[in-house]
Chain A
Amino acid sequence: GAGVSQSPSNKVTEKGKDVELRCDPISGHTALYWYRQSLGQGLEFLIYFQGNSAPDKSGLPSDRFSAERTGGSVSTLTIQRTQQEDSAVYLCASGGGYNEQFFGPGTRLTVL
């Protein structure tokens, strides 16, 4: 595809359930980021993948959050035992040249 895609676009879940968010980066981009965007807040860094290197997980807010990237392409962000404070838009971005990031449309997560 021409850009970064994410699925689902919207996810409503009940507190305590697990959710899985998917990101398809631009083909050939080795860098991939996950961010969380809450209302009125700047984008919050969650995790960074670069090629086959170990990911930087320093932004993950708790051990309920995990992410993987298979084959250096598709990435999934998993949130276990969701809490209401996890409600936010989760954005994925893949890296290009000169520090430009190309963002997907995001997944809006609502935890009831």
Chain B
Amino acid sequence: KNQVEQSPQSLIILEGKNCTLQCNYTVSPFSNLRWYKQDTGRGPVSLTIMTFSENTKSNGRYTATLDADTKQSSLHITASQLSDSASYICVVPLSGTYKYIFGTGTRLKVLA
């Protein structure tokens, strides 16, 4: 069954600290995986996309990793800021279709 699972479900950290969010998928065949950030009351916005051949990619303080063998991805946030408080959603497309499998997200709260 094609699934995307994320952990933890929620996370609270202090401003300035680092954190890592996890995404495990069973979607096959696999082409790419995308991380979205969803602020409260807003739609998801793409942070980064990881293709099959990529292991790591950075976007500012966000670094995504992908292990296609173990079907795991992580999103590492460095030196967190209050504005990082949001839900982070992992999404994998169903190859050959226009549909996507969405994880339930990780809700991150950064405290001052």
Contacts and interface: CB of A to CB of B under 8 A. Distances in A.
Interface in A44-59: 45, 48, 50, 56
Given A99-B34, A99-B93, A41 B104 contact: yes
Given A40-B104, A42-B103, A105-B41, A100 B98 contact: no
A26 interface: no
A101 B45 contact: no
A104 B43 contact: yes
Interface size grouping (class) on chain A: 20 to 34
B52 interface: no
B18 interface: no
A48 B49 CA distance: 22
Nearest to B4: A42
Interface string A66-98: 000000000000000000000000010101001
Interface string B64-105: 000000000000000000000000010001000011111111
A45 B43 contact: no
A90 to B, nearest CB: 11
B42 interface: yes
A78 B42 CA distance: 21
A4 B34 contact: no
Given A103-B43, A105-B41, A106-B42, A45 B104 contact: no
B34 A103 contact: no
Interface of A: 4, 31, 40-43, 45, 48, 50, 56, 91, 93, 95, 98-101, 103-106, 108
11 contacts: A42-B89, A43-B100, A45-B100, A93-B43, A99-B49, A100-B46, A101-B100, A103-B43, A103-B44, A105-B41, A105-B42
